Amino acid sequence: MLLSRSILAACLTVALAAPAHARTPEQVAQAALRAAPVWDGHNDVPIQLRGRFGNVIDHFEFRDTSKTGGDANEDTWQGRTMHTDLVRLRKGKVGAQFWSVYVVASLKEPQAVQATLEQIDVTRRLIAKYPGDMALALTSRDVERAMREGRIASLMGIEGGHQIGSSLGVLRQMHALGVRYMTLTHYRNVGWADSSNEAPKNDGLSDFGRKVVREMNRLGMLVDLSHTSEATQMDTLDEAKAPVIFSHSGARGVVDHPRNVSDAVLARLPKNGGIVMVIGYPGHLSRERQLWGAAFDAESARAKALQPGDPTAAKVLVDAWIRANPEPLATVAQMADHIDHIRKVAGIDHIGIGGDYDGMETGPVGMEDVSGYPLLFTELARRGYSQADLEKIASRNMMRVMRAAERQAASLKGEAPLEAPLPALVD
């Protein structure tokens, strides 16, 4: 019996539409990361170089840092193994990296400016030391070019407004040296913006803080809202004409931590065009780990009070408490939960990745270092994220954001730099 032409055509359409074989989550993740390698929003290798080596890196081997750890019980730079090296970045499918040129927020502003310049210098020297593997990137085109060449596009971000010394002139010079984002605050307020970790002084941004945001938009420097208070975030979204980023944050709707982003802020991201680059820090991903951390801090304070002037005896008490109360471990699934929540509230176009490696003790189980990103993308594929979704999260969303910031800067090319009066210099 002959089939009609319409039935044959329908059968052929179904056959062509059906895949030869269903792809596994691992295969979907692998395909996504081949097409769009991870663009990570935050890595603290530069401050590791300062803490471990005083920024003397002639003999530092960045291809493999797996032997950098010493005594695991020693709470120092040397006591921990670094999370990042070229081998593990390749394994983690990282194609672009924002290197944080962070310095501690407790520094006086003039000292912070100098230290930031030193961190920019060591970062640029590290990139130049491995020209076959890394490429300094100043524009979205630079990132595209580096990825095509198989090199890791390397960008720089300042982690705290204290690092510009309350000066628009310093901000402009940091941009001229290659800095492409600034986190408005770190763990302390600055004179013009409030942090997520201190009582508010400005109720968000001051008038000067709003001017900082406008000047960053004019320059094409991305405004990073990780570490800032919700009021600072809301004021910035009112002021910004370019997409903002959260370079390393989670979702407060999953874990109610002040470092995570509230649903009220997430709901405003689509209009702004910005993204949350989801962090790997266990205390922000896991409620159990967050509560354990608070209990640990309390026990440490209690031990110090019970053994004043005897840190060894206090440590014995804390170690005994840890043995009785083992630290909960964060999981890849919990990191995926934050991504799920951001997708639900803000949408798939507003998610990125910002691990915070080498700025924490460890990432989640299986993602302890930068090599673990494929596990996260496999977990997301298992949850039904398409290859196109995964490509957006990996780097396409961040690429869109950077291009938008560049377009905004281009549209303001004719505008004069913003000015603010400086204090008089005294001997």
At a CB cut-off of 8 Å and minimum separation 6, what does 357 contact? 40, 43, 44, 83, 84, 280, 363, 369, 370
At a CB cut-off of 8 Å and minimum separation 6, what does 64 contact? 85, 86, 87
Question: H or E stretch including 277?
Answer: strand 275-278
- Name the DSSP letter for residue 43: E
279: nearest Cα among 98, 48, 91, 404: 98
Question: H or E stretch including 374?
Answer: helix 373-382
356 is an active site residue: yes
Catalytic residue among 83, 162, 175, 186: 186
Catalytic residue among 44, 142, 230, 239: 44
Question: How far, CA to CA in Å, does 386 sit from each of 17, 94, 245, 280?
Answer: 16, 19, 23, 22
> Residue 203: how many CB atoms within 10 A of its CB?
11
237 Cα distance to chain centroid: 19
**Single-letter residue type at 424:** A
As a whole number of angstroms, the distance between CA 11 and CA 7 comes to: 6
83 is an active site residue: no
Question: How far, CA to CA in Å, does 108 sit from each of 112, 162, 166, 227, 230?
Answer: 6, 8, 11, 19, 25
Catalytic residue among 42, 83, 338, 350: 42
**Single-letter residue type at 106:** S
Catalytic residue among 162, 248, 338, 350: 248
Catalytic residue among 40, 85, 142, 159: 159
85 is an active site residue: no
Catalytic residue among 83, 162, 175, 227: 227
As a whole number of angstroms, the distance between CA 236 and CA 225 comes to: 8
116: nearest Cα among 152, 82, 156, 84: 156
Catalytic residue among 85, 224, 239, 356: 356
295: nearest Cα among 252, 316, 326: 326
Strands 38-43 and 134-136: unpaired
350 is an active site residue: no
159 is an active site residue: yes
As a whole number of angstroms, the distance between CA 385 and CA 379 comes to: 9
Residues involved in catalysis: 42, 44, 159, 186, 227, 248, 356
